[in-house]
């Protein structure tokens, strides 16, 4: 080439501007930052999903460990044993205007194993004054013994005790709403349930 300046040697000068090298470095750094942010976001998403799984598992475990009701015997050593019908003397008294009810009821109770005492009309204090199916009367000692047993034969009858009453006999006073004694199979089931009450439920965890 002519002119004042000549190129000598077998190397050519670099024509790329040095600024492009700086731009490349900036681009690499920016790419690394983007990848870092993306990776952090991915980790956060994974943590959210796995954390939710742990919470669901914990909730399931809590449900599995929820207390359930299980029947277990509730001993009551102080409870009095119930007497058998054959040991209970029943006076059958009619407080209604219908005749023949006392004898008919007494005969049926006798068939069911009860001992029968007096049979007749109710005393003046109860005559025509018992509006329900009947009333069971007895001494204070009969409240949790003889009266409940007799009550299985006439569901719904009121139970009363008389403090000054002597003896162990109990009265069945027939009231205006009386129709008949409970059917014997029903009375027998009620008597069995009374003698062997269902155990009280207790809470137990299934963990």
Domain boundaries, the chain: 87-195
pLDDT in tens, 134-164: 999 999 999 999 999 999 999 999 999 998 8
Residues 117-136: what's their mean pLDDT? 97
Greater confidence, 102 or 52?
102
Please, which pLDDT band fits residue 193 given cuts at 50, 70 and 90? very high
CA distances from 19 to 16, 24, 35 (A): 8, 9, 25
Q: Which residues pair with 136 in a beta bridge?
A: 159, 172
CA-to-CA distance for 117 and 92, rounded, in angstroms? 7
The pair phi, psi for residue 59, each rounded to 5°, is -65, -40
Q: Are strands 170-174 and 89-94 parallel, antiparallel or unpaired?
A: parallel
Please, which pLDDT band fits residue 72 given cuts at 50, 70 and 90? very low
pLDDT given for residue 19 in this prediction: 53
Determine whether 62 is exposed, middle or buried from the number of CB atoms within 10 Å of its CB (0-12, 13-18, 19+).
exposed
Please, which pLDDT band fits residue 41 given cuts at 50, 70 and 90? low
The pair phi, psi for residue 13, each rounded to 5°, is -70, 150
CA-to-CA distance for 141 and 162, rounded, in angstroms? 10
CA-to-CA distance for 80 and 85, rounded, in angstroms? 15
pLDDT at 169 over 70: yes
Mean pLDDT for the chain overall:
78
pLDDT given for residue 185 in this prediction: 97
- By three-state DSSP, how is residue 169 classified? coil
Cα-based torsion angle of the residue sequence 156, 173, 123, 128 in order, rounded to the nearest 10 degrees = 60
Residues 33-53: what's their mean pLDDT? 55
Please, which pLDDT band fits residue 196 given cuts at 50, 70 and 90? confident
pLDDT in tens, 47-66: 555 555 555 455 555 555 55
Least confident of 20-24, 45-49, 110-114, 136-140: 45-49
pLDDT at 170 over 70: yes
CA distances from 161 to 7, 66, 135, 144, 151 (A): 137, 45, 10, 10, 13
């Amino acid at each position: 080439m002519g002119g004042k300046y000549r190129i000598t040697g077998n190397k050519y000068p670099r024509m790329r501007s040095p600024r492009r090298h700086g731009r490349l470095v900036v681009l690499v750094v920016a790419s690394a930052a983007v990848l870092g942010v993306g990776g952090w976001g991915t980790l956060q998403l994974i943590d959210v999903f796995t954390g939710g799984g742990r919470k669901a598992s914990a909730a399931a475990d809590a449900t599995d460990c929820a207390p359930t009701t299980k029947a277990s015997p509730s001993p009551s050593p102080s409870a009095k044993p119930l007497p058998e019908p054959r040991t209970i003397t029943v006076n059958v008294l009619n407080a209604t205007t219908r005749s023949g009810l006392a004898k008919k009821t007494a005969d049926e109770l006798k068939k069911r194993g009860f001992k029968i005492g007096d049979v007749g009309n109710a005393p003046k204090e109860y005559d025509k004054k018992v509006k329900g199916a009947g009333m069971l009367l007895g001494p204070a000692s009969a409240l949790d013994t003889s009266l409940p047993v007799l009550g299985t034969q006439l569901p719904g009858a009121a139970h009363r005790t008389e403090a000054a009453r002597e003896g162990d006999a109990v009265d069945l006073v027939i009231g205006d709403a009386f129709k008949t004694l409970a059917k014997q199979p029903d009375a027998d089931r009620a008597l069995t349930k009374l003698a062997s009450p269902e155990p009280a439920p207790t809470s137990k965890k299934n963990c």
